[in-house]
Structure 1
């Protein structure tokens, strides 16, 4: 800390010249002529004028006509503080209280604030003229920050109270905090009034007293919160009568937020009997008072509420009131309500789309985006991606980055509107705005090359890595794929394993399958137990290849205990998803009675299904059973045909069979 012992101290005698230049400086401040103010202050401070010294500190702290310099600001504040000027003592304390500054010194801040308080009280008691700077026009030249607040009476007490609230250099002490806050509030320092009205640690009785004082400043929310605490019994002795009477009194005076709070009580039957009609009357009054957004908030809370006794129709009426009162976001929420349904209100996507369109036509960005979504997917309206494009473009112009992504999807994947260059530009904009899925799209487009965009595996890998670093699940998976095959980067199967683990832990079924595959088929020696564990995780998510591989493991007892029934069940699950090899395995199980009762007709049926999907084992099985008439009428010609197809597909058993 700097040593300020060289500063002048003791009694001061102001000269007429100093006072005159101080008044001139104040006039310049009021006109925001800071260079002229500085020159006038240079004369005023020659006789150690504390107000002039304080104002010099303000110049340096706010960079008004001089370069910003907190050290010089503190020097001038301390000079004025040493001359007993209370606002300067408070301003210097504020600098010492800055938690992100190297000059933070809570002990010195507390000392200066205490001096300021004592100085203010002494001036009041001895009738000394106030040295406070009182030129309100000048304050209009600044943001309302601590330098100007510091000259208000009660600010030093408020900061002392806050230090005891937060434990800044002193013990947390609720009673001391309250005592200082109360002193500040009694001097009509508004922040202290609101602090006393709202901080529950001071007790509901104190909160109520000061909440009523806050009403004098036109602030009703603290008193409304007090009333609700009486109703909710929230760390407060329940007093339903007082809570309701307070809310009703404020609501009847036309206070919109009280009308909305009371309406919510009437809708939910909280501490009073339900009366939806009366609630809607209060909401109508609030709407007329311009509180439409608050009514929208209530409507949202009602239709999303898990309380089964709430009538969702009331939520609809709330939102309709808010929309009629001019809150266009309420139209979007009405659309959301009908799109998904709520309570007994069934989904009605056509109605939802109409609300989205109404909002979109009023230039509500979310309305534009949702109208685009409905048109893109054909939800509640005939699919029309050309029209969807227009609404997405309007939303994108208003900063909705996901709309850039959807425009890219239309240009990149809709066959009637292909424009890969535009798609890439949109995905790039979306990615810059934080949409990590856009990085995946850019990666896959550059990996394979589309339209006039050539394949660039290095660029693709860069996009996948960027998405992975943003913790995008597909980013981890695609980067792992590139590492596994050496696409766009040096092949590194250990890295691939690490990246697949990241994606698998985030729930990716394909990555879980790949871990099973690597541990079971691409590791020396293979780790069948680990492979089986990962195949199980992927199989539970419906991954057909994992179901097939896990069925094979159970069939052979590889990494798990052999169990033909479990194998058959897994093959059936995979076959249901069109897995041709699984169909062959089901046929084999029926032919040999593995895990199921032997049934040669079923065996042939499953072999044939597999064969028709191009599986060479299925072709061989179907051909063999046809040739010998097993489970199907004898047909050696057709049987031979299927076996020949299996041989051409390279199946050794089929080739060997043909030679006999």
Structure 2
């Protein structure tokens, strides 16, 4: 059955429909006699149909039912409708199902009235008829026994097996389903006015008849009140469902929608946990760890977790261990996290070994990283054939973290992980074959990247693109194929795919040159925080459009500079030095030049020397000027050569040395620096 909603209220449960269907299909022999006098022939064919249904001979059952319904047999009409509704031996046909249900309903057969009402509630394309559904459901329940419970909370739960014979029990379930639906209609105001009291009354009547969906509804919906929830949650326990009662306990502990009563909540949880209910043991342990309305008690928590591990899913304990070292909602406690994860691993969750490795690899709280211990845990997970264990052992060996670097052994580990479908391992195998000098094999590299790409690793597409763009090993340069790979990565919204596709558009590699598309693609990559794309946008706006847009250029240079892009730091420093697109500020320029110089930028080193020589944003210091010019010159910067040569020739900031000075100035001149070509001794 579909879920019907109004004003945000869920009105029908798919589980209840499935439950009703299952009960119907399982209990053909328990149908009571109809209210009209039947012919002997009709009853005989009805019995034949029931026998056929029990052995799933639906076609034979249909033929027998078609004979039985000739004398207006309501049971046969109902069953024929069920065949069409559930597609048993016939094509699903809701119209025919409704026709037969209504015929049986008109003969006073309550299960058919309920079934017809369900179809009206399940109307496709907004064709539900809630009013008719309500009328039929009311008919289905109107013969309620006079001594039936009035729906108050003081409920005595009889066991249907003790109170009814098989036919009566089946009818009680059908009646419970009808009452449950009536309750929902009153809750949502569908076909009848909203009436919360009537809604609860009907649902409780259904629950008293053993209709489980009603029991669970009353046990779990907080709007019914904690007292009613508690009563029916205890009933749900009789059906082997403990979660509703555990939820009630947590609400008492946390005061969610009810006055806090930690003593009552703890009592419920403890009673269930001591009975061996794993979910209660786990919940109680979690409360003791987090201190939910009770003092923290790690030892007691571990006791209950150890009990949980004996018969419950150890992954729950793994999840708790993970939360203890990296969840923002749980206080970080790496020592307790280790104990939880070790307990989970001992209980059979091999993934807990991986998490132990992750905890030690990165460290947490007061626990410092211990990559050697992390590697040992990864190795244990790998030995148990955990795919991520093999991959992480491969990573450690590839990078030399926690173990001596060994690319050959890393390759072997990645192969084992790749065989189990980890696409990143194929990617790393491609990296080894494609870029490691001792293991280089371009054919294997391409094959691995292709497999990784097929499994969804878009970075592999970028690698394939760069290999074909530049040519690797025996792979000749193929710019068109490279552009295709970059475009595939871009369509998958890979930032480096956008960036490389933009590069191809900018220079016309593998596609006609199109600076406008390049600009568009660089924007997409820049929005994903690609600092090089941010730099390129600054470059295009500042140097490659007419007229230049220095403000936009400065804005993009700033974004890239903040991410440590040295060229962006250099150019933004130049903008601040000259007041281009920003307000002139020598101090800010000097700071940016210093950042770029720290990354080895020779031009930035020259600019620092220039700042010291002329007092731009810093106090004049000719010694520092010479030092920075010399650094720049030694890195091959022609401006640095000229600056160092001038100061050496004139003995400024250093001992005079005209010969050395001329040598540097001549180098700058050979590098075609106009100032050096035109220089004459003063």
Note if contact 1:87-1:151 (Cα within 8 Å) is conserved in structure 2. no
Q: Which moved more, 1:245-254 or 1:32-41?
A: 32-41
Q: Which moved more, 1:447-456 or 1:312-321?
A: 447-456
* Structure 1 residues 118 and 81: alpha-carbon distance in aligned structure 2, compared to 1, 3 A threshold: closer
Task: Output aligned runs, 1:39-118, within 5 Å.
Answer: 39-98=63-122, 101-102=124-125, 104-106=126-128, 108-109=129-130, 111-112=132-133, 114-118=135-139
Distance (Å, rounded) in 2 between the aligned partners of 1:85 and 1:551: 88
- Which of 415, 437, 443 pairs up with 2:437? 415
Deviation at 1:472, TM superposition (A): 2.6
Note if contact 1:464-1:479 (Cα within 8 Å) is conserved in structure 2. yes
What corresponds to 1:394 in structure 2?
416
1:279 aligns to 2:301 (yes or no): yes
What corresponds to 2:549 in structure 1?
527
What corresponds to 2:143 in structure 1?
122
What corresponds to 1:17 in structure 2?
41
What corresponds to 2:609 in structure 1?
587
Q: Which moved more, 1:558-567 or 1:35-44?
A: 35-44
Deviation at 1:479, TM superposition (A): 2.5
**Aligned partner of residue 250 in structure 1, secondary structure:** helix
What corresponds to 2:54 in structure 1?
30
* Structure 1 residues 251 and 596: alpha-carbon distance in aligned structure 2, compared to 1, 3 A threshold: same
Q: Which moved more, 1:333-342 or 1:43-52?
A: 43-52
**Aligned partner of residue 647 in structure 1, secondary structure:** helix
Deviation at 1:34, TM superposition (A): 3.4
What corresponds to 2:221 in structure 1?
199
Note if contact 1:338-1:349 (Cα within 8 Å) is conserved in structure 2. yes
Deviation at 1:186, TM superposition (A): 1.6
1:615 aligns to 2:633 (yes or no): no
Structure 2 segments unaligned to the other structure (5+ residues): 1-33, 148-164
* Structure 1 residues 428 and 238: alpha-carbon distance in aligned structure 2, compared to 1, 3 A threshold: same
**Aligned partner of residue 219 in structure 1, secondary structure:** coil
Deviation at 1:166, TM superposition (A): 6.2
Q: Which moved more, 1:250-259 or 1:635-644?
A: 635-644
Note if contact 1:51-1:133 (Cα within 8 Å) is conserved in structure 2. no
Task: Output aligned runs, 1:257-406, within 5 Å.
Answer: 257-305=279-327, 311-406=333-428
The two structures, once aligned, show a CA RMSD in angstroms of 3.5
Q: Which moved more, 1:318-327 or 1:550-559?
A: 318-327
What corresponds to 2:533 in structure 1?
511
Using structure 2 for the length normalisation, give the TM-score.
0.83
Distance (Å, rounded) in 2 between the aligned partners of 1:173 and 1:439: 61
Note if contact 2:74-2:107 (Cα within 8 Å) is conserved in structure 1. yes
Distance (Å, rounded) in 2 between the aligned partners of 1:594 and 1:406: 48
Deviation at 1:525, TM superposition (A): 0.7
Deviation at 1:74, TM superposition (A): 4.7
Using structure 1 for the length normalisation, give the TM-score.
0.86
* Structure 1 residues 246 and 532: alpha-carbon distance in aligned structure 2, compared to 1, 3 A threshold: same
Q: Which moved more, 1:388-397 or 1:512-521?
A: 388-397
What corresponds to 1:141 in structure 2?
none
Distance (Å, rounded) in 1 between the aligned partners of 2:109 and 2:526: 66
Q: Which moved more, 1:321-330 or 1:553-562?
A: 321-330
* Structure 1 residues 600 and 384: alpha-carbon distance in aligned structure 2, compared to 1, 3 A threshold: same
**Aligned partner of residue 600 in structure 2, secondary structure:** coil
Distance (Å, rounded) in 1 between the aligned partners of 2:191 and 2:395: 55
* Structure 1 residues 567 and 303: alpha-carbon distance in aligned structure 2, compared to 1, 3 A threshold: closer
Note if contact 1:623-1:643 (Cα within 8 Å) is conserved in structure 2. yes
Distance (Å, rounded) in 1 between the aligned partners of 2:253 and 2:308: 21
Distance (Å, rounded) in 2 between the aligned partners of 1:457 and 1:436: 19
Deviation at 1:334, TM superposition (A): 1.9
Distance (Å, rounded) in 1 between the aligned partners of 2:189 and 2:418: 47
What corresponds to 2:230 in structure 1?
208
**Aligned partner of residue 321 in structure 2, secondary structure:** helix
**Aligned partner of residue 122 in structure 1, secondary structure:** coil
What corresponds to 2:3 in structure 1?
none
Once the two structures are superposed, what CA deviation does each residue of 1:185-238 show, in whole Å capped at 9, x if it has no partner? 122111221121111121111111111011111111111111111111112101
Q: Which moved more, 1:170-179 or 1:422-431?
A: 170-179
* Structure 1 residues 171 and 124: alpha-carbon distance in aligned structure 2, compared to 1, 3 A threshold: closer
Distance (Å, rounded) in 2 between the aligned partners of 1:295 and 1:437: 34
**Aligned partner of residue 143 in structure 2, secondary structure:** helix
Once the two structures are superposed, what CA deviation does each residue of 1:251-288 show, in whole Å capped at 9, x if it has no partner? 22111222222223333443333333233222222222
What corresponds to 1:603 in structure 2?
625
Distance (Å, rounded) in 2 between the aligned partners of 1:311 and 1:419: 46
Distance (Å, rounded) in 2 between the aligned partners of 1:183 and 1:398: 53
Once the two structures are superposed, what CA deviation does each residue of 1:25-57 show, in whole Å capped at 9, x if it has no partner? 333333333343344344344445444444444
Distance (Å, rounded) in 2 between the aligned partners of 1:419 and 1:92: 70
Deviation at 1:15, TM superposition (A): 3.8
Deviation at 1:521, TM superposition (A): 0.6
Distance (Å, rounded) in 2 between the aligned partners of 1:314 and 1:331: 15
Structure 1 segments unaligned to the other structure (5+ residues): 1-9, 127-131, 137-147
**Aligned partner of residue 578 in structure 1, secondary structure:** coil
Once the two structures are superposed, what CA deviation does each residue of 1:377-402 show, in whole Å capped at 9, x if it has no partner? 22222223333333333333334333
- Which of 424, 442, 446 pairs up with 1:424? 446
* Structure 1 residues 12 and 401: alpha-carbon distance in aligned structure 2, compared to 1, 3 A threshold: farther
Deviation at 1:110, TM superposition (A): 5.4
Distance (Å, rounded) in 2 between the aligned partners of 1:516 and 1:183: 72
* Structure 1 residues 206 and 484: alpha-carbon distance in aligned structure 2, compared to 1, 3 A threshold: same
- Which of 482, 497, 500 pairs up with 1:460? 482
* Structure 1 residues 160 and 430: alpha-carbon distance in aligned structure 2, compared to 1, 3 A threshold: farther
What corresponds to 1:184 in structure 2?
206
What corresponds to 1:470 in structure 2?
492
Note if contact 2:141-2:179 (Cα within 8 Å) is conserved in structure 1. no
